A and B are shown apart, each in its own frame.
Chain A
């Protein structure tokens, strides 16, 4: 039985999922992005710096990561650049707040409602979840009340959000003073208090000591927190293996503080960790509504044109592959590549599943919040947080960073002082890609195959989709 799910709610943008159900199980899945805006065409012939205005507006939920990627792409084509180290830290602070907020919001607003399906009533356990974590529940209320205060950090450092223009090559446009930083610390600690009270149940520093699944289960048994409820939910509902992705990962490296990455770049292919080489990325348009105009060696010379009437195509999302491999990106990819021991353990046991993906999102928020504290103490005062830079009139550069949802790349090609080509490869382009030229399904398509769907019950399918935290507005730029 074929079933087309459209439109789907509680995700960013528009996603259509077509599934083939046979014997109560999803046998095949096709995932489509159903909207086209044409950012890459709009960007052509504009001044390179205009990318700082346009590209964040690809996405309202992860606009800062586009600012960071665009800045990095511009930094890669500088004739001269004088980087402000304080500016880089301030950039991380803005990017971190956006990422943490995205993770927390996604969990409560987008994922939890799927746990509240009648399929998972689990002898009344569902009611407990609803009372605490559901819309208007006790944790939900506390977190959303505090969320608006947490945003003040973005107001102080970045003026406004979404769509700040504070992030530029070489640094940020505002030089912070001590008064700003003291206020930021106050706001940060209030937010941490609320998360410790609701989501984590323990202090962040204690939480991140959990380094394997046994310790995790001890924590889940002994602590009263939304995280422990989620862990129990996965066990009671028997979904630890649900929604298995390809198990290949990329992380482009995130939160570089001048010395180190908080999450280092790398690739996991068939179980082994390798260095990440951006030039091994290629986008297939076999099943996407695009026609090639010339041979594409790298995304720099991808000038493919939209063609909505293409036979056989089913998505506005292209299909990026790494050396031909289907890859998943996101918090789990970052934590496995950065060899966080808890996630090495979970990944070895379960692979990439609903359980491990969501766990990674929740734990990553804690890792980032702890880093935020450190960055605030590293800031110095008295220097300009904007360095300075001068662009070349011709050149190519790749801007790489990690958005909340995973690897984000901006491929910039400049000629005669204007943009000749601009290609954006966003996280959901990887996760929600259609089939490629070898007919390999994308990561979400793969994860949906084998998922139970008896009598048209889509509860499991919904959980798998939301576990990827899809952001279609990014992928159909």
Chain B
């Protein structure tokens, strides 16, 4: 059995909750498949208090092996650069993370806070928080640029706010089976398997997107990109193909915009949520890999070609055209 040691830093426990939402395989099945033993997880283990402190010191002394060291939540370097904003098992959290990372075969950052700093590290950052090996898009973080775990990988980042349950359990299964190699990670050390597509792919509003027929307020069927701040065309994830919670939902399926929560700079994009920032009449953040001139050309053509059906439905909560009289 391969030991998983899982700790929470500055976070909300939301990634753990998400992990327990896994369906196929569910979390416990995934552990069986991967041959993983939960050495410790804050919600699952009966070990606490002094027994946990002993376990931690055994790990640090190399007497208990950790195969996967998973961290959820950001790592504070404050206050005064000492990391005292969060103390765990008698250590400043950052020191504990460094010590355990150095003896673990693989280190995984679960969720955007652990990967890149996320909300605790966003503008203001009162705790001087950082991700394990990135602070936003700057490589380094709490463990430093040179960190490579015993298994030969940098920190494997599984961002998302929260991360999709599959991303977490499948990463564990891949690592336990020694199936994840350096070339399987992207520019932000995220497994390509999950992050090599856009949240936009599979969005049920794609036909509206193509013809630039947009929702003007929430609850309407149109595309959320033009007015309501959707970043699905910029966000690297497979949310709309994989889907959430029994394959029933995703952000745009729930009627709200993608906010690119897997991004290195989430949530500090330098702009507001729920409203697309415009420069003239062009969105400031364009769909990924689409040059501005082409965007302008294609979108004005698309607007000219928009079928009446899409124009009408895009601002309606239900499909009304052509079967029903238009109701606004």
A→B interface (CB under 8 Å): 5-10, 12-14, 34-39, 41-42, 44, 47, 49-50, 52-54, 57-61, 63, 84, 87, 109-110, 113, 135, 144-145, 148-149, 151-152, 154-166, 168, 171-175, 177, 306, 308, 381-386, 388, 458, 473
Contacts and interface: CB of A to CB of B under 8 A. Distances in A.
Contacts of B321: none
30 contacts: A6-B89, A7-B88, A34-B86, A35-B10, A36-B76, A37-B10, A37-B126, A38-B127, A42-B122, A60-B16, A61-B14, A110-B43, A148-B26, A149-B246, A155-B246, A159-B250, A160-B251, A161-B21, A161-B245, A163-B161, A173-B219, A173-B254, A174-B254, A175-B219, A175-B255, A306-B79, A382-B317, A384-B317, A386-B219, A386-B317
A171 B245 contact: no
A470 to B, nearest CB: 12
Nearest to B88: A7
B217 interface: yes
Q: Which of B14, B218, B239 has the most CB of A within 10 A?
A: B218
Report which residue of A163, A383, A388 has the largest number of chain B beta carbons within 10 angstroms of its beta carbon: A163
Contact of A10 (B43, B257, B259): B43
Given A42-B119, A173-B219, A54 B52 contact: no
Interface residues of B, number: 73
A36 B85 contact: yes
A35 B49 contact: no
Interface stretch (B130-138, B169-177, B267-275): B267-275
B127 A36 contact: yes
Contacts of A157: 254
B292 to A, nearest CB: 26
Contacts of A382: 317-318, 327
Contacts of A160: 239, 244-245, 249-251, 254
Interface string B114-156: 0000011011111101000000000000000000000000000
A57 B14 contact: yes
Given A37-B126, A50-B272, A148-B23, 4 more contacts: A7-B42, A10-B45, A37-B127, A162-B12
B18 interface: yes
Contact of B119 (A57, A148, A154, A164): A57
B124 A473 contact: no
Nearest to A16: B87
Contact of A59 (B12, B125, B250, B259): B12
B254 A54 contact: no
Contacts of A84: 219
B28 to A, nearest CB: 8
A5 B49 contact: yes
B208 to A, nearest CB: 15
B48 interface: yes
Given A60-B16, A152-B248, A159-B249, A172 B48 contact: no
Contacts of A53: 259, 267, 273
A173 B252 CA distance: 9
Given A7-B49, A14-B88, A151-B245, A173 B255 contact: yes
A175 B243 CA distance: 19
A57 B162 CA distance: 9
B245 A155 contact: yes
Chain B CB within 10 A, most for which of A53, A171, A308:
A53
Contacts of B45: 9-10
B53 to A, nearest CB: 8
B227 interface: no
A168 B22 contact: no
A144 B120 CA distance: 31
A39 B119 CA distance: 8
Given A60-B13, A382-B327, A155 B259 contact: no
A39 B74 CA distance: 13
A38 B120 contact: yes
Contact of A162 (B18, B256, B273): B18
B154 to A, nearest CB: 26
A250 to B, nearest CB: 24
B166 interface: no
